[in-house]
Structure 1
């Protein structure tokens, strides 16, 4: 009986340890290639193709220098993610476009994916997160 209780307690402890570790992943996104320190960077993390460029975790950060800016997303479960970045130079909350809908503000995606006639697709931008990870995005 004593061995059974210890076995059950061991299984429960191991399960709780796995579940606790599952939500502890941290993603650091390093954004490079800013042309100016005007405005803010809007960095959005998406957790599925269905949410891609629609609904995600958004962070707005000021640009202290043009060499690199880091953003950290904490307590993420393991899974597949994609990141989109906009350099919102005039801080109006959107990616401004000029003639023919061509963006006039810098932007970028994880894996440095680029769309041909629009934004990159999720499958081009996706990456697996199963431990703490750092990615770099060069905005253009």
Structure 2
């Protein structure tokens, strides 16, 4: 009998991953692409090269600005997105290190003179399907 219970146990477990959809709003120019990085640890945030998952969406008029993470394990995450206007694969900055391309973070964290902390941008992902809405802004708008 114990063998049968152990064998059937996985059938009764709840879902442990889901679909996260990130809708990006306030896209002012339909050129370049939107780049997203998903982080699952504060030590890696917000370095794009150390993200847990990522995605790129080419921009064109009339398309939805939504990026999806399929089969994302339930847990705590933070997200950074930016519009790569010239498609060079990196966030462009001026000589002072100020971003020159629109960007946003989960929880729509508004910081200007520093990068946000993981805890400020962190959210709990724990549903089969969850949507976040992030609004792009230029540095001068923060």
TM-score using structure 1 length: 0.85
1:10 matches 2:5: yes
Q: SS state of the match for residue 13, structure 2?
A: helix
Greater shift, 10-19 or 130-139, is seen at: 10-19
Please, which runs of 5 or more residues in structure 1 have no aligned partner? none
- 2:31–2:60 contact (8 Å) kept in structure 1: no
Report what 2:92 is aligned to.
96
User: Which of the pair is proportionally richer in helix?
Assistant: 1
Q: Which residue of 1 aligns with 2:103?
A: 107
SS at match of 2:66: strand
Other structure's SS at 1:105 match: coil
Aligned positions of 1:1-140 closer than 5 A:
5=1, 7-15=2-10, 17-18=12-13, 21-22=15-16, 24-54=17-47, 55-56=50-51, 57-65=53-61, 69-131=65-127, 132-140=129-137
RMSD: 2.0
CA distance in 1, matches of 2:114, 2:67: 25
What CA distance in whole angstroms lies between the structure 2 residues aligned with 1:52 and 1:17? 35
Measured in 1, the distance between the counterparts of 2:69 and 2:55 equals 9
Cα distance, 1:115 vs structure 2: 2.0
User: How many residues matched?
Assistant: 133
Whole-Å separation in 1 of the counterparts to 2:61 and 2:100: 20
Q: Is the 8 Å Cα contact of residues 34 and 67 (structure 1) preserved in structure 2?
A: no
Paired residues of 1:33 and 1:68 also in contact (CA < 8 A): no
Find the structure with the greater CA-based Rg. Answer: 1
